[in-house]
Structure 1
Amino acid sequence: MTRLLYDLCGIDEALRFSPYCWRVKYALAHKGLSYESRPWHFTEKEAIEFSGQGKVPVLVDDETTVVDSYDIFRYLDRSYPDKPLLGEGEAEARARFFKFYSERSLAPGILKTVVMDLFNSVHPKDRDYFRQTREKALGRTLEEVHAPSKGLSMLDQALEPLRGRLEEADFLDGDVPAGADYMVFGHFMWARNVSSADLISNADPVYAWVERMLDVHGGVGRNALRSVDVPGAYRADEA
C-alpha cells in the first residue's frame, strides 16, 4: 500500500510550513503509519484536482482520499483505531475545541508576527497568488498586517489557557501527546519553519511544551528544514 500526503512546500522543496499539513504529519507519526510526502505548491491546483478541492493536506490511503486536517484525524481513528487521536464523545469535542482555538485565537497573533517571513518563504512562483488571496481575505496588504509587537502581545494573551493546562500536565492530552496537542502545535511549526522570531519566553510553560513536541516521534518537528537553514533565503528581520 502506498500512502500519499500532498504537503505544501516553499522556496526549497524540503521547506514544509502548512500548519494543517503538520497536524497530519504528527497524526501519522502518532499512529506509526508510513507515507510518501508529495511536495505541492499553491498554484499547482491541477495536481490535487482529483480531491475535489484545491487545498492541502490531501491524504491518499489506498483507494480513499481525505481532505481537511480534522477529517483526516477522524479517518485515521476509524481506519486505524490503535492509539486514538481524538477519542469519542467528550474527548473528541475537546479536541475540536482546540482546533478552533488554534485557528481563531493563536493564528492571528502568529500571523501578525511572521507574515513577511512567511511571504518570503513562499516559492517565487506562488507569491502573487499568496499575496492576492491573503490580502483579499484580510482586507489589508501584507505589509499592513505585519505588526510583530502587536502580534506577540495578542499571542501572549491567547496563550493563557494553554499555560494553565501545561502547568499541570506535560501535554494538552495528559502524559503523552495526542490530537489536541497536534491541532495546536501545527501553528507553532508553521511559525518555526518560516521565521526566526521568538514567540515565547523560555520561562513560559508553553515553551517547555513546544520543546517536548519538537522531540516526540523521533524529532519529526525538530529535524524539519527551516527557512533560516535555506542558503540565501531572505528574512524580514534583515530588512
Structure 2
Amino acid sequence: MTILLYDLVGSDPSRPFSPHCWKARMALAHKGLEFDALPTRFTEVAEVEGGGGRTVPVIRDGDAVVQDSFAIAEYLDDTYPDRPPLFERQSGRALARFVESWSQRTLHPAIVRATILDIHAAQDDENKAFFRTKREKAFGKPLEQVQDGRTEEKRLAASKSLEPLRATLRNQPFLAGERPMFADYIVFGGFQWLRVLSTFQLLDDGDPIADWFERCLDLHGALGRQVPAAA
C-alpha cells in the first residue's frame, strides 16, 4: 500500500514548501518507499487524520498514522529496516536530534526574518488572513516588522552564523559523511523552504553549503528540483 503524506502548500498545490514536510519527503525517497502527497493548506492542518490539533507532516502507512518529521524518520527506519537507513544506529538518532535543534534555532529564524512576507504572499486570501493572525500573535508585531533580515549587513551575519555547517562541508560531501542521511535532510528542508518561496539569496556562489545543497537537490531522481525555484 502506498504511503500518504500530508504536505503543506500555499495557493499553488504543486509547490510544497514546508521545511518539515521536505524532511519527510526526502526520508521516504531515501527509503525507496512510494508515497502520495496530499496538498494541505494551513487552515486544513488541524483536521488532518481526525484533527486533535495536528501539525504536518503526517503520514498514513496502512493503519499507522505518524506525525512530526523526526518521528516519521524513526518510524520508517524501525518499520523498514531492510531499506537504506536514515540513522546510523541509536547514536545517529541522537546526533540528528542535535542537528535538528541547531537548524531550528539558527537556520530557520534567519530564513523567517528574510522571507516571512514571501510565505504570506504564497497563500490564498483565507490562508493569508490565518497566517498573519497566527504569526503576528506569536511574534507580537506585524509581519512587516518581523521581516528585517534582508539588509546586506544582516544577510552576512546570518551567513556567518552557518560557519559550523560550512566548515563541516568543506571536508566531506554530506553532513553524514560520504552519503546523505536524515541529518542532511533536516538542514536541506530549511534551504528548500527558502528556495521554493523566495528569490532572496542567503549564500554566495561557491559557498560549500550552496554546493552541498545542489548535491541534495540531485538526490533521489532530483526530487528537490521537481519544484522549481521561486522566480
TM score, norm. by length of structure 1: 0.91
Please tell me whether residue 114 in structure 1 is matched to residue 115 in structure 2: yes
Q: Deviations over 1:191-238 (max 9, x none)?
A: 11101111100121111001111111111111214443xxxxxxxxxx
Larger deviation: 151-160 or 27-36? 151-160
Identity of aligned residues (%): 41
- Asked if 2 retains the 8 angstrom alpha-carbon contact of 1:110 and 1:151, the reply is no
**1:95 maps onto 2:90 in alignment:** no
> What do residues 52-111 of structure 1 show as CA deviations (whole Å, max 9, x unaligned)?
333210100010000011100110010011211123232211111111111111111111
Deviates more, 1:156-165 or 1:56-65: 156-165
- Cα distance between partner residues in 2 of 1:18 and 1:108: 14
What is the number of residues matched between the two proteins?
228
Gaps of 5+ in 1: 229-239
Secondary structure of the residue aligned to 1:28 is helix
Matches within 5 A, 1:167-182: 167-182=170-185
- Does residue 190 (structure 1) correspond to residue 193 (structure 2)? The answer is yes
The answer as to whether partners of 1:51 and 1:67 remain within 8 angstroms in 2 is: no
Q: Which amino acid aligns with 2:108?
A: A
Q: Which residue of 1 aligns with 2:63?
A: 63
Listed as ranges, the matches of 1:1-150 within 5 Å are 1-45=1-45, 47-50=47-50, 52-81=52-81, 82-147=83-148, 148-149=150-151
SS at match of 2:89: coil
Deviation at 1:158, TM superposition (A): 2.1
Is the contact between residue 27 and residue 85 of structure 1 (CA under 8 Å) also seen in structure 2? yes
Answer whether contact 1:51 1:58 (CA < 8 A) is retained: no
Q: CA deviation at 1:138?
A: 1.4
Q: Would you say the 8 A contact 2:46–2:53 is kept in 1?
A: no
Q: 1:37 aligns to what SS in structure 2?
A: strand
Q: Which has the higher mean CA deviation after the structures are superposed, 69-78 or 116-125? A: 116-125
Q: Deviations over 1:145-180 (max 9, x none)?
A: 112126523421221111111011000001111111
Could you tell me how far 1:185 is from its partner in structure 2? 0.7
**Matched residues in 2 for 1:118 and 1:50: separation?**
26
State the AA in 1 paired with 2:188: F
Relative to structure 1, is the Cα distance of residues 37 and 91 closer, same or farther in structure 2, using a 3 angstrom cutoff? Answer: same
Displacement of 1:46: 5.8
Paired residue secondary structure (1:221): helix
**Alignment RMSD, CA only?**
1.5
Residue 89 of structure 1 aligns to a residue whose secondary structure is helix
Give 1:235's aligned residue: none
User: How has the CA–CA distance of structure 1 residues 53 and 216 changed in structure 2, closer, same or farther, with 3 Å as cutoff?
Assistant: same
Kept after mapping to 2: 8 A contact 1:2/1:36:
yes
Structure 1 residues 52 and 2, CA gap change in structure 2 (3 angstroms): farther
Q: Secondary structure at the match of 1:66?
A: strand
Change (3 A) 1:52 1:88: farther
Q: Distance in 1 between matches of 2:3 and 2:124?
A: 26
Tell me how far apart the structure 1 counterparts of residues 114 and 141 of structure 2 sit (CA, whole Å): 15
Letter in 1 for 2:129: D
Which amino acid counterpart does residue 176 of structure 2 have in structure 1? D
What secondary structure is seen at the aligned counterpart in 1 of 2:226? coil
Q: What TM-score comes out, normalization by structure 2 length? A: 0.94
Q: Structure 1 residue 125: deviation in Å?
A: 1.8
- Residue in 1 that maps onto 2:208: 205
